[in-house]
Amino acid sequence: MATRQRESSITSCSSASSCDADDEGVRGTCEDASLCKRFAVSIGYWHDPYIQHFVRLSKERKAPEINRGYFARVHGVSQLIKAFLRKTECHCQIINLGAGMDTTFWRLKDEDLLPSKYFEVDFPMIVTRKLHSIKCKPPLSSPILELHSEDTLQMDGHILDSKRYAVIGADLRDLSELEEKLKKCNMNTQLPTLLIAECVLVYMTPEQSANLLKWAANSFEAAMFINYEQVNMGDRFGQIMIENLRRRQCDLAGVETCKSLESQKERLLSNGWETASAVDMMELYNRLPRAEVSRIESLEFLDEMELLEQLMRHYCLCWATKGGNELGLKEITY
């Protein structure tokens, strides 16, 4: 039951949780990414005062090339998000697909860059965990309540909906369920919409990811899609990555689309998007402001630069646009 008191107005209701055993390995990647981000933040790669409320600091030290890779990922995605927000003057919505323990909503609020509404979608089990942290930790719940116009805010195990922020438990492979839940949380198909997927599409079959991309392109009049995931997976290093994940019961079902930057762009263009761009993460790293590179490289010693380059050449940042000519969405680049 929701209460009338503002300070305790995030309330929890029990609900059944259904889990598909085949997805357990994929859900585990959420924990891995959160631990890596938490460690990188702890030694100063970037500022994020919210990640600590979602994940504990691991005792295991992460390798320098992993930390630099996460820095480039967070920086690249953030730059594209902010470019979209500037073009739309924040009169837009963001849908983060497979958001995990992502903290972008809180960080954008701190910078006064929130869109009209920010949505997150992930497996119900992950959403349940995230909502528990939000409910229990005022640094997470207070910013949501501050923006909420009502005195009460209802939350159950798989969904939170407020005026500016919503978290939804749904399977991205079930598009009718996804759309229904987003619309219940007041998704507006008339608003310019940014969709984000970080290491998400690769865990879906090519048909499933194509359907999701088509749905996204067809649902909004003006839209942009950001995709961060593996690339150049046909070489020996790529095969080792695949084998390592398989040993952890995590299959890259969509790896055939990750052959090259061209195959990544072609998937977007063949599924309803009008423009598509892609860079591998080494190229992105080389484009970082020199002052930032000097700062992060001074944080810890990297024995072999070749290790970093090998890793970064196997991840990419892609972005696509559809409509929004009057907003200049096609001009967005990294």
CA 56, CA 35: separation in Å to the nearest integer?
A: 7
Task: Enumerate the known binding-site residues for S-adenosyl-L-methionine.
Answer: 73, 98, 171-172, 198
With contact defined as beta carbons under 8 Å apart, do 278 and 264 qualify?
A: yes
Whether the CA torsion 223, 257, 211, 282 is positive or negative: it is negative
Whether the CA torsion 86, 89, 92, 95 is positive or negative: it is positive
60 burial via Cβ count (<10 Å: 0-12, 13-18, 19+): exposed
Task: Enumerate the known binding-site residues.
Answer: 73, 98, 171-172, 198
Backbone angles phi, psi at 249, to 5 degrees: 60, 35
* Residues paired with residue 281 on neighbouring β-strands, in sequence order: none
Comparing CA positions, the residue from 298, 54, 99 lying closest to residue 197 is: 99
Contacts of 302 (CB under 8 A, 6+ apart): 64, 65, 68, 308
CA 108, CA 280: separation in Å to the nearest integer?
A: 25
CA 124 to chain centre: 16
